[in-house]
Amino acid sequence: MSDNGHQQNGHENVPSRQRRRFEGISSRTYEHPADRSALVALRKLSGFDTVFKALSGLLPERSLRLLFLSDSVRVSDAQFAHLNTMLRDACHILDLEKVPPMYVTQDPQPNAMCIGLDEPIIVVTTGLVELLDEEEMRAVVGHEVGHALSGHAVYRTILLFLTNLALRVAWIPLGNIAIMAIVTALREWFRKSELSADRAGLLVGQDLKASMRGLMKLAGGNHLHEMNVDAFLEQAEEYEAGGDLRDSVLKILNTLPRTHPFTTVRAAELKKWAESRDYQRIMDGHYPRRTEDKETSVSDSFRQSAASYATDVKNSKDPLMKLVSDIAGGAGDLGGRVRRGFGGFAGGNPKDQTAPNDRTTPEDRTSPKDQPPRDSTPEDDD
């Protein structure tokens, strides 16, 4: 590998510092297991194939390309040259043969996206360009190139279209329900695909600190002197472990309408992966190649995803995930665990609460055989 300036796939690439190149790398290398399983589940969703085929022919992709061409700035050697260098650098490192067009669009909101049906287009906002430094931006460009290599652009484009369509047909009850079912499934996959692309960004930038800084800036703006990486990651741990079952439900409700995972969660996930043996093996040159993609099976993806989910549930500090783990493990007293989880509803100490129609004394409970039979209530059913 040479990083001193060279011709690669018809374009010159001059990285600003030496980084490893992953020749022939398969997107399976960095894709989060939940990303692959969510996409497989999405494709199996009733009605998705019909909608996908219909939208593939109806979506105005040419109009989309003309819109960016006419009302945004196309990145090139003559315009935003530093971004053009980053783009070619990222495509070289991930061995993406065709460099996707990239545009900068005027929008103060920091954002980037990879969309398109036939060919991906990368779009970054001025708000993002102004917010991030060179190494942070390099990770973002690598993030979007990772989306392109994984083939995410098609589904992301459909999600954007369906989200707008759902707003227009909200007055049609059944039509809106049908669309929102697919939108919800797409959002679930979208969130997982972001974790995959974050990993791709790290493979391109190969600077974990820069990736962390970029995520912190997305959360708190350009005030790094006021922020601390360790404290930021502690927020993710507190978010996962804090509260009771009610908080777990609220987390789910807060997440459902989002296309991206929460920023602290993304940072924690990326740091965990960067410290894993899998990441080190990739950096040592041991990773799946695209030439092997045809030999992989859906069942293998599901097995990997199932193992990943099982590990996440087992290691999670979230109250709901602990309960799920207990159920899977056949733990007893689940009714009591649920009541303690939601104990705050009734007020007071959940351990001191007694079922409304339970008039027995503690002494009586020690001798159940002496108790007269009585009707069971939901509170009594542990």
- Torsion 302-155-95-134 (CA) sign: negative
Distance of CA 380 to CAs 326, 331, 336, 358, 359, Å? Answer: 20, 17, 9, 8, 12
Closest CA to 301 of 24, 25, 44, 21: 44
Q: Which residues are identified as catalytic?
A: 144
- Chain centroid to CA 59: how far? 25
The 8-class DSSP code of residue 28 comes to G
d(CA 6, CA 11): 8
Rounded Cα gap, residues 323 and 326, in angstroms: 5
State both tokens at 224. 């790094």
- Cα of first residue to Cα of last residue in the chain, in angstroms, is 63
Burial (CB count within 10 angstroms: exposed 0-12, middle 13-18, buried 19+), residue 7: exposed
Separation of alpha carbons 90 and 200, rounded Å: 9
Q: How far apart are CA 294 and CA 376, in angstroms?
A: 57
Per-residue CA distances from 207 to 198, 199, 273 (Å): 12, 11, 13
